[in-house]
Amino acid sequence: MIKIITFIISLIVLPCIVSAQTYTVKKGDNLWQIARKFDVSVSDIKKANNLKNNKLQVGMKLEIPQKTDKNVKKSDSNEPSYHIVKSGETLFRIAKKYNMSVEELKSLNGLSSNKISKGQKLIVKTSNKPTENISLRENEKIPLLASTKLDIEEKTEEIEEIKASEDLSQMSITERILLFAKKMLHLPYRFGGNSFNGLDCSFFVKKVYSMVGIELPRSAREQFTLGVPVKKDELQPGDLVFFRTYAKFPSHVGIYLGDNLFIHASTRSKKVTIDSLETPYYLSRYIGAKRILGIDKESLEKAIEELKNKQIN
């Protein structure tokens, strides 16, 4: 009987021992890089090694947690499926249908442009999110679409790790802005919000730019007074794009990504998301763009100071 029990225990324990991984910290490593390398979260590594903060020492041995059955199940439920392009369809419409961004759809299918043809077979992702939450009546409670508080904490930690990474010094200021902006995808929208638990369009832009050392005013209306005007056909990644939504003055702002796409904290999607400038809603409300990058920092600070003085007077 004892032998049988021992045999059963060995069947349970042995796979865990075999599948365990350890990683020795090297010079320049940080938790974000290691988590990305092994496709696990920063918080999971910290829990597995009882880490109270993000500090690492060269030579430290970290236990890399294995993906749980829960994670595997989640991945299985998101197995790629296919979509056959129909007449009149666009990448934007197809992406919206499967609750993904145009950028994700293009990346998944190795597309270099937005051109698609009837009958083309595209790989798409299925979504676990209920579509009824995307469109809300005016008086309905806004759901927390960033899933849970833990997700927001993980995003915050990941962004902090990126900011501390030596890899950042190898990137241009535009690449940094786009990186930080995309890392904030799916954070929940809240009108007047000033934190990752809920933020609005102008705070999103202000926060992203502050991460590269550029301080902008708080509102979209104020941000529209800065920078150099840019024609729509001359837009470059990192430019700010403005819209009139609920008011006659500039009341909505986002960051241009390229390929007619921009990232913004959306009142319509209730989260930070990526949309097309060609979407009828935004196309009809577009009022212009401003370029902040490349402007002398001293001149920008002077313009902001003048703006503040006007408000006081």
- Residue 186 bears catalytic tag: no
The residues spanned by each domain of the chain are 2-67, 78-128, 149-312
CATH node for 2-67: 3.10.350.10
- Whole-number pLDDT of residue 19: 44
Q: Which of 16, 83, 186, 264 is catalytic?
A: 264
- Burial category of 116 from C-beta neighbours within 10 Å (exposed 0-12, middle 13-18, buried 19 and up): middle
Q: Mark the ranges of the chain whose per-residue pLDDT is less than 70.
A: 1-20, 67-80, 107, 109-110, 125-150, 297, 299, 307-313
Q: Per the structure block, which two tokens stand in for 176? A: 């940094």
Residue closest to 285 by CA, chosen among 249, 259, 235, 260: 249
- Residue 201 bears catalytic tag: yes
Class of domain 78-128 as given by CATH:
alpha beta
Q: Give the H/E segment covering residue 12.
A: helix 2-19
Residue closest to 20 by CA, chosen among 41, 51, 48: 48
State the amino acid at position 227 in one-letter form: G
Span 98-144, pLDDT tens digits = 777 777 777 676 677 788 888 888 877 543 433 333 233 333 333 33
Span 239-265, pLDDT tens digits = 999 999 988 899 999 999 999 999 999
* CATH 3.90.1720.10 corresponds to the domain 149-312: yes
| Predicted TM-score of the model (pTM) | 0.55
Domain 2-67 shares a fold with domain 78-128: yes
Q: Is the dihedral of CA 152, 153, 158, 162 positive or negative?
A: positive
